[in-house]
Structure 1
Amino acid sequence: MDRDLFDSDHDAFRESVRTFIAKEVSPHYEKWDKDGIVPRELFTKSAELGVFMAVPEEYGGAGVKDFRYNTVLAEESARAGVGPAMGGPGLVADVCMPYLLDFTTDEQKERWLPGVASGEKVVAIAMTEPGAGSDLSGIRTRAVRDGDDYVVNGSKVFITNGINADLVITVVRTGDDPHRGLSLLVIEGDTEGFTRGRNLDKIGMHAQDTAELSFDDARVPAKNLLGQENLGFFGLTANLPQERLSIAVGAIAMAQAALDWTQEYVKDRKAFGRSIGSFQATRHRLADLVTEVEITQTYVDKAVLELNAERLSAVDAAKAKLWTTELLGRTLDACVQLHGGYGYMQEYPVARAWADARISRIYGGTSEIMREIIGRSLDLK
Structure 2
Amino acid sequence: MVSLGSLLHYGALAAPILGRSVLGSGCHSVSTKVIAETPVGSYLESTIIRPNGDILATSAMGGSKVYTVKGSSSRNPSVEEIANVYGVQSLWGITEIPPINGVETYVFVGGNVTSLTPLTPAVGSWQAFRLSFPKRGVAKVEQIGDLGRETALLNGLTPIPGSPGSVLIADSGRGTMGRLNIIEKKWEMDAFAEPEMAVLPNSPLGMGVVAAKFRDGYLYFASAPTFIYRLRVDWKGSKIPGAKAELVVDVSENFSGIDDFVFDRAGNIYFTSNAPTNALGYINSRTRENMIVSGGVNETILADCASLAFGRSQNDKNVLYVARGRGFTGEQDFGKVVAVSNFDK
| TM score, norm. by length of structure 1 | 0.25
Larger radius of gyration: 1
- Bigger strand share: 2
- Answer 1 or 2: higher relative contact order, Cα 8 Å, separation at least 6: 2
- Which structure shows the bigger proportion of residues in helix conformation? 1
